[in-house]
Every structure is written in C-alpha cells, then in structure tokens.
Amino acid sequence: MGLFAVRRGEQVWVYVNSCPHVGLPLELQPHRFLDHKGERIICAAHGAKFLVEDGLCVGGPCMGDSLEAVAARVEGGNIVVDAEAGV
Ligand code: FES
C-alpha cells in the first residue's frame, strides 16, 4: 500500500496511500498527490480532497473521513517514520 509525504520546509505530514472511500491509492501519476494549486491532497479516482495538515476529507464521497496519518519528522533534511508504519 505504501506511504506518501507532503513536506513544507521543516514540516511534514505522512499518510497511508489509501483513500478512505474504497481504499484505492490516491495518485494518478507517480508522486502527484496534490491538487493543481498544491493546497490539498486529492484522490485521482473520484476527486475527494483532503487537508494536508490532518488528512480530513473536505469534499467528495468520503467527506468527514480521514486519511490514516503516520507520525513523522524531518531529521537532517530527511523524512523519518517508524519502521512499522504503513505495512
Ligand atoms: S477512491 Fe478516492 S474518493 Fe473514491
């Protein structure tokens, strides 16, 4: 299933790459998870939009549901997550 990250400077948010609607991966093209403005995470299959900061769906068929967040941090320029995350 895998994880994906959205990074803004020293802030990072990591989620399991699975739409809460039917569990499809979110991206249509590799490494493209954001809408054209770069503001929201978007599900390519049905257009659901999620807040970057907490993964809450704010539009689309899974409105009110959330992406599964994974604790992460930036360390020495790298994104660090627990080894067990997203498996
Ligand atoms: S699979 Fe993403 S909104 Fe349906």
DSSP annotation of 45 reads T
In a domain, 47, yes or no: yes
In a domain, 62, yes or no: yes
The whole-angstrom separation of Cα 70 and Cα 46 is 23
Domain of residue 28 covers 3-76
Contact yes or no for 58/40 (Cβ under 8 A): yes
The whole-angstrom separation of Cα 2 and Cα 35 is 20
Mutate which of 15, 21, 67, 68 to test ligand 1's pocket (most atoms within 8 Å of Cβ)? 21
Helix (H) or strand (E) holding 60: none
- Ligand 1 pocket list (CB less than 6 A): 19, 21-22, 24, 43, 45-46, 48, 60-62
Given a cut of 80, whether residue 17 has pLDDT beyond it is yes
**Model pLDDT for residues 2-15, shown as the tens digit of each residue:** 999 999 988 999 99
Looking at the structure of the chain, the number of domains it has is: 1
In a domain, 45, yes or no: yes
Q: Mean of the pLDDT values across residues 19-39?
A: 93
Q: Of how many residues is the chain composed?
A: 87
Given a cut of 70, whether residue 87 has pLDDT beyond it is no
In a domain, 83, yes or no: no
**How confident is the model at residue 54, as a pLDDT?**
97
Q: Cα 58 vs. chain centroid, distance in angstroms?
A: 13
**How confident is the model at residue 84, as a pLDDT?**
73
Please, which pLDDT band fits residue 23 given cuts at 50, 70 and 90?
A: very high
